Structure 1
Amino acid sequence: MELIQNTPELSAYLAASDVIDHEHPLVRTVAATLRADASDAYTYAKAAFEFVRDTIPHSHDIGDPRVTWRASDVLEQGTGICYAKAHALVALLRAEGIPAGLCYQKFDVVHGLIAVRLPGEERWARQDPRGNKVDVDAQFRIDREQLAFLIRPEFNEVDWPVLFAEPHPAVLQCLQEAVDEPHLWQTLPTEL
Structure 2
Amino acid sequence: MEKYLLFNEVIDWQHPTILEQALKIASEHQTPQAIAKACFAWVRDEIYHSGDYQMNPVTCCASDVLKYRTGFCYAKSHLLAALLRANSIPVGFCYQRLSIDGKGVPYSLHGFNAVYLPEIGWYRVDARGNREGINAQFTPPQEQLAYTTQVPGEAEFQNIFSEPLAVVVQALQSHRTLDELRSNLPDISPESLYRVAFKRSR
Q: By the TM > 0.5 criterion, same fold?
A: yes
- 1:27 partner SS: helix
- Is contact 1:127–1:141 with CA below 8 Å preserved after alignment? no
The answer to whether the aligner puts 1:50 opposite 2:48 as a matched pair is no
Asked if the contact 1:21–1:70 (Cα under 8 Å) also holds between the matched residues in 2, the reply is yes
- Look up the match of 2:53: 62
Distance 1:141 1:22 in 2: 25
CA RMSD of aligned residues (A): 1.0
Mapped pair 1:87 → 2:84 = no
**TM-score, structure 1 as length reference:** 0.91
Partner of 2:156: 159
What is aligned with 2:122? 124
SS at match of 1:107: strand
Q: Which residue of 2 aligns with 1:102?
A: 93
CA distance in 1, matches of 2:31, 2:24: 14
Q: Which has the higher strand share?
A: 2
Q: How does 1:1-192 map to 2 (within 5 A)?
A: 10-108=1-99, 109-121=108-120, 123-152=121-150, 154-191=151-188, 192=193
**TM-score by structure 2 length?**
0.87
Equivalent residue for 1:5?
Answer: none
Q: Distance in 2 between matches of 1:119 and 1:22?
A: 21
Amino acid at match of 1:148: A
Higher relative contact order (CA 8 A, sep 6+): 1
Identity across the alignment (%) = 42
Q: Unpaired segments of 5 or more residues in structure 2?
A: 100-107, 194-202
Number of residue-to-residue matches in the alignment: 181
- The structure 1 segments of at least 4 consecutive aligned residues displaced by more than 3 Å after TM superposition are none
Contact residue 65 and residue 182 of structure 1 kept, 8 A: no
Partner SS for 1:167: coil
Taking the aligned partners of 1:141 and 1:20, their CA distance within structure 2 comes to 25
